[in-house]
Amino acid sequence: MSKGFHVAIVGATGVVGQELMAVLQERKFPISNLKLLASARSQGKKLKYCGEELTVFEAKPDSFEGVDLVFFAGGPVSKELVPEAVKRGAVAIDNSSAFRMDPDVPLVVPEVNPDDVEKHRGIISNPNCSTTIFVVPLNPIHKIAKVKRAVVTTMQAVSGAGREAVDELLLQTRQVLDGEEVEQPKAFDHQIAFNLIPHIDVFNENSYSREELKLLHETRKILHDPEIQITATTVRVPVLCSHSESVNIETEGKLTAQEAKEILSNAPGITVQDAPEKLEYPMPIFTSGRDEVFVGRIRNDYSQERGLNFWIVSDQLRKGAATNAVQIAELLCSRNLL
């Protein structure tokens, strides 16, 4: 490997961990040594990176000795091991929800709040995938016209729930098409093939799920705006990759749809795909494997004087997780914060 940093990935065998390896390689992040870590059951597995075969080791506190940067791919292990990595001098970029709302931990989307990396004390959180995809186009509009309120409906791909969820959708689809009885679901509470499940994460007492409340609280933190109002419904859909979001916003300043298109077309990380007369709009089959957030169906809300509708689609394993994490690492490098 080339000259660079000593890097570790915790959760290297999972879908986000695998995507992290791919993005690090594609973007040529400077790595001199890459340590792959996972649970005890994955110890000894072999994975390839830049043509080299690397062995996966069990993630333990002493795994982070001599490591400069650790990517945590997500999961409950972060709560225990992120502080251990920081204690040993590493900077941790964490994809779990463990530290996102900690006031001392920056929650960063590089296109939106890059300066927040300057405040890190060893930990930087990656937002929830649906939040990241949402705030990239919301931010440039918010800067121009100030968003007062947003109504968001997410349609989230099964790969956001891990490899078992992908396998379950594929198995159930085959069983339905072959006329077989569908096995009892394991990854989800209900059959996902040929179905929609309006339930992601646990429900709170107010009947909102934790996934829905993440969109509110994380967006407020990223935008540094505690006043913005957001209500969400999150839905799991039988799509393999790329989350979609239907968004309606109300702004303080009036924007025409054309003005919104121009703002979004000039914003970083966004591809505007909005030609309904040609049947051109974002869809998961076009966005999977890409790093941009695609926006289309941009139109004024005729029921609100200052209302706007738009449609967002993005690969949640890349921009929603791995790519965003690597972009944070690149920010740290560019600002000499590693």
Give backbone dihedrals phi and psi of 96, rounded to 5 degrees, phi first. Answer: -90, 175
User: Going by DSSP bridges, is the β-strand pair 307-314/270-272 parallel, antiparallel, or unpaired?
Assistant: unpaired
> Residues 120, 129, 142, 241: which is the catalytic one?
129
Which residue has 């729930």 as its token pair?
A: 161
Closest CA to 150 of 212, 92, 201, 58: 212
Closest CA to 136 of 99, 110, 106, 105: 110
Which residue has 């298109």 as its token pair?
A: 261
- Taking the CB of residue 81, how many other CB atoms lie within 10 A of it? 23
Do 312 and 305 form a contact (C-beta atoms < 8 A)?
A: no
| DSSP one-letter code for 319 | I
> Residues 50, 190, 243, 333: which is the catalytic one?
243
Q: Name the token pair of 77.
A: 């292990």
Annotated catalytic residue 241: no
CA dihedral in degrees (88, 23, 115, 216; nearest 10)?
A: -100
CA distance 69 to 7: 5
Closest CA to 240 of 324, 160, 174: 160
Annotated catalytic residue 224: no
- Taking the CB of residue 101, how many other CB atoms lie within 10 A of it? 14
CA distance 162 to 171: 15
| Residue numbers annotated as active site | 129, 243
